[in-house]
Chain A
Amino acid sequence: MPPRLNIIVPVKRVIDYAIKPRVNSAKNIVETNGVKFSLNPFCEIAVEEAIRLRESKKDLVESITLVSAGSAKAQDALRSGLAMGADKATLIECPGIDDAKSLSLEPLAVAKLLKAYIDKEGANLVILGKQAIDDDSNQTGQMLAGLLNWPQATNASNVAVDDDGIVSVTREVDGGSETLSAPLPIVITTDLRLNVPRYTKLQDIMKAKKKKTDKLTPSDLGVDIAPRLEVVSLSDPPKRLGGSKVDSVDSLISKLKDVGAI
């Protein structure tokens, strides 16, 4: 019998993937007023993978716990994950963080919070999204593995746990795939191709209401979350200029010369 898995899935609430973010007129934050937020897609994949591990083998998984850090609204992300099938959730409510300032909760602070949480509650597997689509940092998983001094397998496209508790993770690399294996405990970050998350069943949404959500604060965990970076400015990507049609090869060439392309 392998050791039973106590899985922690850190999740983040971000601006919905389908929404085009807009920078505010002061050029210092991304507009969040009236914007739809959802569970970060990579986090959703991480929750799905934890549930699939449970479904793959009876008694393999002991518990799946979600953790999110941020404003009180991060509760939404936890609720989505609970409805997908996680067992319980913990919200680390960070004072001074709201939708507009969510980027000032930096990867290192989140990794420290998670490290402190795991030291306190225990776990032998962390599955998290490789990055959040708001800041695209792709750092939290790696930093957490470093702080915990656990092995890490990033950008997973397949995850398997054998009877001896050895975890094999396949990752897509240039020119093919690479498989890493390591004993528990381990930190795994998920790539897009790992799985397709399930839709949330109505029954599970109702059941999720009865599931427990604990609350903690950074000071409960003894972590300082003060940002170390300063956002100097934000700007929208340059607007695409409209194209134009030309009626002959000669005029095409002269146009290209005009703009200095040839």
Chain B
Amino acid sequence: MYPEIIRDPRFGELTQADIEYFKSILPESSILQDDQDLSGYNIDSMRKYNGQSRLVLKPRSTEEVSKIMKHCGERKLAVVPQGGNTGLVGGSVPVFDEIVISLSNLNKIRSFDEVSGIIVADAGCILEATDMFLAEHGYIFPLDLGAKGSCHIGGNVATNAGGLRLLRYGSLHGSVLGVEAVMADGTIVNGLGKLRKDNTGYDIKQLLIGSEGTLGVITGVSVLCPKRSKVMNVAFFGLDSYEKVQKAFVKAKSDLGEILSAFEFMDRESQDQVAQFSELRRPLDEQHNFYVLVETSGSNRSHDEEKLQEYLEGLMEAEIIDDGVLAQDETQMKNIWTWREGIPESLARTGGVYKYDVSIPLEDLYLMVEDCRAKLVEKGYEIGTEESNIVNVVGYGHLGDGNLHLNVAVKSYSKDVEHALEPWVYEWIQKRQGSISAEHGLGFAKRPYLKYSKDQSMINLMKQVKNVYDPDGIMNPYKYI
């Protein structure tokens, strides 16, 4: 599959005796060996990375994970912890024959405190289901993203997922209060703290958040959840330049303040792409160069509406926006959101997508998309013509967080296009001190490019950490670092 990488010879090979051992600690239904059963665990959601694992284990408890890891540690069997397998950097699928440890059977909510809003849950709880549980109690999970229907909260924490609510509720490094994990030797680390304030020693859980399964298997998390807002509003604008998008953002921060919960921007190309596959009416009839989706969440309808009204009127008067609509009901709100959330899916329909999830200072954010188009044209590629492999180059993202998604949609993946884009994209980011992976993580795809975002001293420290917690390197190998 990957000619440039060889299987690490230090790792043990799976034997019948290993299988017998797993059968002694797990029920039959938790052990998958059939090719058909394995395929979904070997291939990632973009169908870009395909591993060759011969074994998937689906433990039902932290103790079972511990027994598995103890055995794997002793036998030096490499493993890949896997949640909903919705990652975008090939981090959740095996590269060679690593054993997949799927957390999908660890899916119970352990406790919820109505007063503090702290939820303690198994890693395999699905994000949307967890959020629905919280909704019944008037709370909200501080994270929302397109894959919510399949991704696991343990996987979200392991990859430090960002998503749509980060602007409002901050990163998981802030809202996760505790992590329970099984380390490479089978030790259970019980760190399911439920305290907001706890300055006692090194904050080890922060290392596990965003470690992508390279230090341990996260089996449970405790998360501080905010109260669910009673009132939400969604507006959608058309603007003619990226400069005006920034102005609208600055104004949103000052006029909407604490009720601003999302500020997403999309370019015209991305919206045309969604329109090709959507049966929904476009929010704005005329074409614009840029579109912005603003969401507010607050506690008092008239107060929120007054603020929003003032903001919108100000935008119109200052001629920052050309046109705009305001959702009048829940259905319209949901429909407008699909014009943002539907972008990745509509791009995927073309065949393949080169995804770059970057963080760069706001003023240069969109320049990257323009430069990328120019670069491809300079290299002799046509974009969006009948014959060309490159279907579309689009930019969209969480402007509020300085996070751009640059997506190059192709009819089929080709080394040619890849080499035209990489490492050019990463060098471009490095020049502006940006991050080559703002929220998708490193996984398999971005590992070689870490040096563009982190200097050698930092990478050395990371390697030391990895060696301390996983000296044999069996945790999610060939990835991350």
Tell me if chain B binds chain A: yes
Residues of chain A having any CB pair with chain B under 8 Å: 16-19, 34, 36, 38-39, 41, 80, 83, 196, 198-203, 205-206
| Beta-carbon contact of B328 and A18 below 8 Å | no
Can you name 5 A-B pairs with beta carbons within 8 Å?
Answer: A36-B329, A36-B330, A199-B326, A200-B328, A203-B323
| Beta-carbon contact of B325 and A199 below 8 Å | yes
| Beta-carbon contact of B230 and A199 below 8 Å | no
| Beta-carbon contact of B331 and A202 below 8 Å | no
Residues of A within 8 A of B284 (CB): 199
Taken together as a complex, chains A and B put the C-alpha atoms of A196 and B312 apart, in Å, by 25
| Beta-carbon contact of A203 and B329 below 8 Å | no
| Beta-carbon contact of A202 and B330 below 8 Å | no
Nearest residue (CB) in A for B327 is A199
| Beta-carbon contact of B334 and A18 below 8 Å | yes
Residues of B within 8 A of A83 (CB): 328
Nearest residue (CB) in A for B231 is A36
Apart from A199-B236, A202-B326, A206-B316, what are 5 other A-B pairs with CB-CB below 8 Å?
A16-B330, A199-B283, A202-B315, A202-B321, A205-B312
Taken together as a complex, chains A and B put the C-alpha atoms of A79 and B330 apart, in Å, by 17
Residues of chain B having any CB pair with chain A under 8 Å: 230, 235-236, 281, 283-285, 312-313, 315-316, 321, 323-332, 334, 336
Given contacts A196-B281, A198-B281, contact A80 B328 (CB under 8 A): yes
Residues of A within 8 A of B235 (CB): 202
Taken together as a complex, chains A and B put the C-alpha atoms of A219 and B480 apart, in Å, by 75
Residues of A within 8 A of B325 (CB): 199-202
Given contacts A196-B281, A206-B313, contact A201 B324 (CB under 8 A): yes
Q: Closest 5 A-B residue pairs measured CB to CB?
A: A18-B330, A38-B329, A199-B325, A202-B324, A196-B281
Chain B min CB distance to A34 (Å): 7
Nearest residue (CB) in B for A81 is B328
Contact with A38, one of B313, B315, B323, B328 (Cβ below 8 angstroms): B328
With a 10 A CB-CB cut-off, give which of B321, B323, B326 has the most chain A CB atoms.
Answer: B326
Chain A min CB distance to B235 (Å): 7
Nearest residue (CB) in B for A83 is B328
Chain A min CB distance to B230 (Å): 7
With a 10 A CB-CB cut-off, give which of B283, B285, B325 has the most chain A CB atoms.
Answer: B325
Residues of A within 8 A of B230 (CB): 34
Residues of A within 8 A of B329 (CB): 16-18, 36, 38-39
- Would you call the interface of chain A mostly helix, strand, loop, or mixed? mixed
Residues of B within 8 A of A41 (CB): 331
Residues of A within 8 A of B236 (CB): 199
Taken together as a complex, chains A and B put the C-alpha atoms of A23 and B336 apart, in Å, by 30
Residues of A within 8 A of B315 (CB): 202
| Beta-carbon contact of A202 and B283 below 8 Å | no
Taken together as a complex, chains A and B put the C-alpha atoms of A205 and B326 apart, in Å, by 8
Taken together as a complex, chains A and B put the C-alpha atoms of A164 and B325 apart, in Å, by 37
Taken together as a complex, chains A and B put the C-alpha atoms of A199 and B180 apart, in Å, by 47
Taken together as a complex, chains A and B put the C-alpha atoms of A83 and B312 apart, in Å, by 15
| Beta-carbon contact of B324 and A19 below 8 Å | no
Taken together as a complex, chains A and B put the C-alpha atoms of A19 and B333 apart, in Å, by 13
Taken together as a complex, chains A and B put the C-alpha atoms of A34 and B229 apart, in Å, by 12
Nearest residue (CB) in B for A195 is B281
Residues of A within 8 A of B281 (CB): 196, 198-199
Nearest residue (CB) in B for A38 is B329
Residues of A within 8 A of B321 (CB): 202
| Beta-carbon contact of A202 and B332 below 8 Å | no
Taken together as a complex, chains A and B put the C-alpha atoms of A16 and B313 apart, in Å, by 26
Residues of A within 8 A of B334 (CB): 18
Chain A min CB distance to B203 (Å): 39
| Beta-carbon contact of B331 and A200 below 8 Å | no
Residues of B within 8 A of A199 (CB): 236, 281, 283-284, 325-328, 332, 336
Residues of A within 8 A of B324 (CB): 201-202
Residues of A within 8 A of B330 (CB): 16-19, 36, 38
Chain A min CB distance to B236 (Å): 7
Taken together as a complex, chains A and B put the C-alpha atoms of A17 and B332 apart, in Å, by 10
| Beta-carbon contact of A201 and B323 below 8 Å | yes
Chain A min CB distance to B241 (Å): 19
Chain B min CB distance to A226 (Å): 31
| Beta-carbon contact of B331 and A18 below 8 Å | yes
Residues of A within 8 A of B336 (CB): 199
Residues of B within 8 A of A39 (CB): 328-329
Residues of B within 8 A of A203 (CB): 316, 323
Chain A min CB distance to B302 (Å): 12
Taken together as a complex, chains A and B put the C-alpha atoms of A209 and B327 apart, in Å, by 17
Residues of B within 8 A of A19 (CB): 330
| Beta-carbon contact of B313 and A200 below 8 Å | no
Chain A min CB distance to B92 (Å): 26
Taken together as a complex, chains A and B put the C-alpha atoms of A206 and B309 apart, in Å, by 9
Chain A min CB distance to B151 (Å): 23
Taken together as a complex, chains A and B put the C-alpha atoms of A16 and B230 apart, in Å, by 14
Taken together as a complex, chains A and B put the C-alpha atoms of A141 and B343 apart, in Å, by 41
Given contacts A18-B334, A34-B230, A196-B281, contact A202 B328 (CB under 8 A): no
Taken together as a complex, chains A and B put the C-alpha atoms of A198 and B281 apart, in Å, by 8
Residues of A within 8 A of B332 (CB): 199
Residues of A within 8 A of B312 (CB): 202, 205
Chain A min CB distance to B45 (Å): 26
Chain B min CB distance to A18 (Å): 3
Chain B min CB distance to A49 (Å): 15
Nearest residue (CB) in A for B323 is A201
Nearest residue (CB) in B for A205 is B326
Nearest residue (CB) in B for A41 is B331
Taken together as a complex, chains A and B put the C-alpha atoms of A234 and B323 apart, in Å, by 45
Residues of B within 8 A of A201 (CB): 323-325
Residues of B within 8 A of A202 (CB): 235, 312, 315-316, 321, 323-326
Chain A min CB distance to B144 (Å): 17
Taken together as a complex, chains A and B put the C-alpha atoms of A4 and B326 apart, in Å, by 32
